[in-house]
Structure formats: C-alpha cells, structure tokens
Amino acid sequence: MGKFRLERILALAMGALLFTQAQAGSDDPFKQVEHFKIERPANLDASNAMDVYDNIIDQMAQGYAQSGYKSAKDYSNWRRDNNAPYLSAGHGNRFLNNYGNKISSGYLKLRRGQKMPAGSVLAKDSFTVTDDGEIFAGALFIMEKLAEGTSPDTGNWRYAMIMPDGSLFGDSAVKGDNSMQFCQDCHNLAKTRDYLFLIPWKFRPSSQ
C-alpha cells in the first residue's frame, strides 16, 4: 500500500473518530429532548422510529433555528427524502433524516458524473436513543452547493454542522475554520457523484 493511500485512510479514520467524540463527548453537545422517553428502545423499528421523530421534530427544529442559519430555520419545511429515520454509522450511530430544498429536487436521481445545481441545500438532522430509552437530539448536518469556482477545494460544497442548542460546531465557509475538513475527507469517497452518497434504498420514498 502506498504511503499516500495509507495516510489518507488514517486521516479518514481519525476524522471519523473525532467526529464520534465530538458528538458523544463528555461536554455533551447533545441535548436531551425533554419529557420524552420510550419504553423498549431495543425494539425500535422504522415505524416506531418515525413515531419518536414525529414527537421531537418541532423541538429539534427550534433548537437548530437558534443558530440564525437560514437553512437551519427552513429545513423542516422542505422535501424529506427518507421514509423513516435510519441508523447511520457514518454520522455516529444515530438516526438520521434527510431534507432538501427545491433547487435540490434531483438529489435522489443524481447519476455518476452529474452535479447538483448551485443553491442546492441538503440538510440532515439526527437523534439518538439510549439503552434506557432516553432521546437526545443530535447535530444538524448541512451541505450547500456554492456557485461554480467559489470553493474548488471542496468541490464547491459548503459543509456546516449545527448543534441541537443552535450553536455552530463548524462552517467551511468561515475563513480559517478547518473543523469541517473531516466531512469533506469522507464525502470525497463519493467524488464521482458530486460528493454525495445518497441515502439507503430501503429508506427512500417509494415514488423514487
């Protein structure tokens, strides 16, 4: 294995680790969703996960909106591209939902070699369920497609992460903020499809 390749893999692994730590660290970036607990967390299937989500989405959206970021305010009114919250190892082991604004309407149909139009925004909220059945809101992950040539190093994507209380974890569009580099390192693996992984088939709406 070449040196470059090894370094790259190590960098990715580090990124994933930091990511998990940032999410689950002792200084608790998570925010517990108040007055809501479920009885049998181990049996959480898609429809139960959807019920949980229906109960907490408003509270989560209010938290992210505090950031003042427009997408964080608007996203919960956008198209949702998954039919139920799904577990993702890529973003820490948490339940995710994917939303996209109008400009991003071609998201799930994007083929290799194609690119999303500038102005597309994809937003992914998240929550965790502990073994005790407690629900915690997680971060909001945002990818925004910038105008061609604005940020060639990131494939013209802007990466941002907003915590459940509305504080900003990082934003690649802020000068000198490298904290979102690990997002890009991993999304680079999907470079041939404009850095997008798309969501698992099983969780796409049946019309797709």
Q: Which residues bind ligand HEC (CB under 6 A)?
A: 15-16, 19, 88, 90-91, 96, 98, 122, 124, 141-143, 159, 161, 180, 182-183, 186-187, 196-199
Q: Kindly state the smallest distance separating residue 63's Cβ from ligand HEC, in Å.
A: 17
Radius of gyration for the chain, computed over Cα atoms and rounded to the nearest angstrom? 17
Closer of 21 and 36 to ligand HEC (Cβ): 21
Smallest distance, ligand HEC to C-beta of residue 152, A: 18
Contacts of 176 (CB under 8 A, 6+ apart): none
Per-residue CA distances from 77 to 98, 99, 101, 128, 191 (Å): 12, 9, 9, 22, 28
Give the nearer residue to ligand HEC in terms of CB position, either 37 or 50: 50
Shortest Å, Cβ 35 to ligand HEC? 28
Residue 44 C-alpha from the chain's centroid? 21
CB nearer to ligand HEC: pick between 65 and 138: 138
Min CB(197)–ligand HEC separation in Å: 3
Q: Give the residue among 80, 66, 24, 74 at the shortest CA–CA distance from 162.
A: 66
Q: What is the dihedral of CA 39, 48, 99, 87, to 10 degrees?
A: 70
Tokens at residue 69, please? 């970021």
For residue 66, the minimal CB distance to ligand HEC (Å) is 18
Nearer to ligand HEC, 52 or 97 (CB): 97
Q: Which is nearer to ligand HEC, 19 or 136 (CB)?
A: 19
109 contacts: CB under 8 Å, gap ≥ 6:
208
Shortest Cβ 101–ligand HEC spacing (Å): 12
Pick 90 or 117: Cβ nearer ligand HEC:
90
Task: Assess contact for 125 and 140: CB atoms under 8 A.
Answer: yes
Q: Are 99 and 75 in contact (CB under 8 A)?
A: yes
